[in-house]
Amino acid sequence: MKFKNVPKSFFWNIYNKIVKFFRYLGGIFLLSCQTIFWMLIPPYRKKSILEQMNQIGVASFPIVFLISLFTGIVLALQSAYQMQKVGAEMYIASLVALSLTRELGPVLTALIVAGRSGAAITAEVGTMKVTEQIDALETLSVNPVEYLIVPRFVALLVVVPLLTIYADFFGIVGGYLIGVGKLGITHNMYVNMTFDPMTMKDIVTGLIKSFSFAFIICMVSCFEGMRSEEGAEGVGRATTASVVRSFILIIMADCFFTALFYFMNN
């Protein structure tokens, strides 16, 4: 392929995008190091952490319940098409349970939290940034990372895995409603086919993913908020970027961990 007719601006744009990407990753890495450092330094802001757990976790229960329940129902109905053709309806329970615990439970929960709470975190921190409240904290010798980010970080690390377990359970309940109520599978058979193939490794795999997703949501949301530009428009752009980039990184991380666990078992 000949490149002599390609304008120099094309390569310059690619170079700039690559540099911006690594600068972005570097900023996330530095913020992560600062957050982990301040998380280990007392005093611990227990009240702020509990408030964030309530805002991020407890308030997300209804939407996680609805989405996980209907996801389990859809999984059972969709898999029933092929399973009924070969007389393997009893395996629907295993398919629903393993799909939720390994993949759909952690990913859907993370996407819900990123879209709901991640955007709120970016908007809050971004508003404080553009109104110079963060500068005021620094003037008062209060570290913004310790004051703003650490409580949200700890809260996300706690509530996202809990919400994932919650989503797994109600997704399985949704599959149970279809399997027993519509497909004629007996209660005992559905319960046995749900839990017999499931191992602790399947649950732990999903929880490891949920911890990594919580880390991504917090770092991206706070980083975008901390670098918001002035004005409401700048905060809006930061909030949009936070949600989009969190979604992309969550899917990339899910792909990475799925491949990692697959090759570790083979």
State the pLDDT at residue 4: 57
Q: Where are the domains of the chain?
A: 46-264
Q: Three-state SS string across 120-161, please?
A: HHHHHHHHHHHCCHHHHHHHCCCCHHHHHHHHHHHHHHHHHH
State the pLDDT at residue 8: 63
d(CA 101, CA 99): 6
d(CA 193, CA 97): 9
Question: Mind listing the pLDDT tens digit for each residue in 80-123?
Answer: 888 877 777 788 888 899 999 999 999 999 999 999 999 999 99
| Mean pLDDT across the chain | 88
State the pLDDT at residue 119: 93
pLDDT surpasses 80 at 10: no
The answer to whether the beta carbons of residues 80 and 183 sit under 8 Å apart is yes
Neighbours of 8 (CB within 10 A): 7
Measure CA 213 to chain center: 4
Question: Mind listing the pLDDT tens digit for each residue in 170-224?
Answer: 999 999 999 888 888 888 888 898 888 888 888 899 999 999 999 999 999 999 9
Residue 144 buriedness (CB in 10 A; 0-12 / 13-18 / 19+): buried
Using a pLDDT cut of 70, give the percent of the chain over it: 96
What's at 156, amino acid-wise?
A: L
State the pLDDT at residue 1: 47
Q: Given the structure tokens 């908020």, which residue do they identify?
A: 225
- Write down the pTM of the prediction: 0.89
Q: What is the DSSP string of 15-48?
A: HHHHHHHHHHHHHHHHHHHHHHHHHTSSSP-HHH
- Quickly state the pLDDT bin for 140 (edges 50, 70, 90): confident
- Cis ω for the linkage preceding 43 (within 30 of 0): yes
How many Cα atoms occupy the beta-carbon half-sphere of 42 within 13 Å? 1
Rg (CA), the chain: 22
State the pLDDT at residue 6: 55
d(CA 145, CA 41): 12
State the pLDDT at residue 42: 83
| Among 6-10, 120-124, 190-194, 249-253, the least confident range | 6-10
Question: Mind listing the pLDDT tens digit for each residue in 22-37?
Answer: 888 888 999 999 999 9
- Quickly state the pLDDT bin for 160 (edges 50, 70, 90): very high
- Quickly state the pLDDT bin for 5 (edges 50, 70, 90): low
Q: Distance between the two ends of the chain, CA-based, in angstroms? A: 40
